[in-house]
Chain A
């Protein structure tokens, strides 16, 4: 995840250089400006890289400013495609925003494999993370204190998790870690721990608990029964025709061809 984020500027720079050298002479050349969610950086990076091989004359720019400003950007016409890692709000749709869901992202709640608690409700998860429930025995587990592990402020996973579970800014973390791998590794080594991580990063060292009775998997994220998930949305404006380049990029992102890159970037292909 991090690796892709790091090389993203390099990719973009390479794309820009390539475009400058080719002089945008081809008919289908052009620039696509995307703007929005930082959580989508990996997915957009992977798509951009793949798209460049297909359409070397089209430059795709990405700037990570947050979902809100991505949506307002496309409504104001300052970018071609807005990127949002949440569903559109009704008032945004009223203003003409149109959502194209390109991927889904599941956030797994993980516990130590020795933990006997493997099924939680959203409310219980919220209570654990806000510090209302502090002992596993309150959830039918062993009599042991709960260690709440999370990510540092600024992490996309953290903001997504807190937003979906409804505990924004109210979490009482025992420990904070700087990466998804850290959270998983430390949950794996502490029987008292609970944490969250992007579904794609969860392996066999930890148990991903069922949420409201549904185990997280590609299928349950896809059919919506696993609730701790969010859509990755490309936003356009109703009545505004996209440039050929932007249309080509959007079509590519929605195509079956993109599935492999979206999956590789850690998200779930929705269609």
Chain B
């Protein structure tokens, strides 16, 4: 029996290793040919002219994720405070399942709603030629990261010992002061983990933002069409020829994305570890 379970565990590990090794092996040749500096800091991605600089893609992914965090984290955090502390039990019992439902919506559906509602709305409001833009992607991403931020922050807030809050209230602090001055700081590493998880989800998302971002490898600007690391791979993979530099460069983009996500995960583990030690 133990052998079976060990085998199952090894399968998972094996796949991770396989993917890592495959990505490194297939991602290195293009970087060698193009040159690491030109690849990472080149401002032009134009496969037709054999120019593969992924700075626009990297910056778009970073800005897009940062934007989603700036919008999504406050909303998520306040919702979590509301659910954990403020809301009457009945109301919280309605909102909580709705939030977890939000987590279960497939990303293509987010993209679809973004494409059919958000993009035309942005086009009208801002009088853009097309509404597909970094802004649209940020809005979609910030909604997508809400569920993980809300549920993780809520759990962290609820784990704060009752005595802390009672002591604060007994000293004459108002409820709001207690939540933000006592509960939130006590739960800060859990909330930080929520934010990092949100970042991880945002930077790895492809489908939803491919449908609203416009997919031109411009340097990022809020109202312009942009291309993320993820969408860069998915949009060109189909038509790149096997063995061509374009295909190899796409694998290199995948490698860069992989490293980004690895760093975020390592950071997440660090945060969680610190929380456990506290």
Contacts and interface: CB of A to CB of B under 8 A. Distances in A.
A172 to B, nearest CB: 9
Contact of A176 (B49, B128, B216): B216
B240 A154 contact: yes
B269 interface: no
A60 B223 CA distance: 50
B67 interface: no
Nearest to B232: A152
Nearest to A191: B123
B130 A192 contact: yes
A243 B130 CA distance: 54
B102 to A, nearest CB: 26
A265 B241 CA distance: 21
Contact of B129 (A2, A145, A155, A189): A145
B238 A2 contact: yes
B177 interface: no
Contact of A174 (B47, B48, B130, B236): B130
Contact of A175 (B47, B120, B130, B239): B130
Interface in B99-127: 120, 123, 127
Nearest to A178: B235
Interface in A3-20: none
A146 to B, nearest CB: 6
Given A153-B48, A192-B129, A174 B235 contact: no
A159 B130 CA distance: 23
Interface residues of A, number: 29
Interface string A184-201: 001001101100000000
Given A152-B235, A154-B48, A176 B214 contact: yes
B225 A173 contact: yes
B198 to A, nearest CB: 27
B154 interface: no
A47 interface: no
Nearest to B128: A145
A226 B15 CA distance: 54
Interface in A148-178: 148-149, 152-155, 158-159, 168-169, 173-178
Interface of A: 2, 38, 64, 134, 144-149, 152-155, 158-159, 168-169, 173-178, 186, 189-190, 192-193
Sort A-B residue pairs by CB-CB distance and give the 10 closest, nearest first: A147-B129, A153-B47, A147-B130, A154-B239, A145-B129, A175-B214, A176-B215, A178-B235, A153-B48, A192-B129
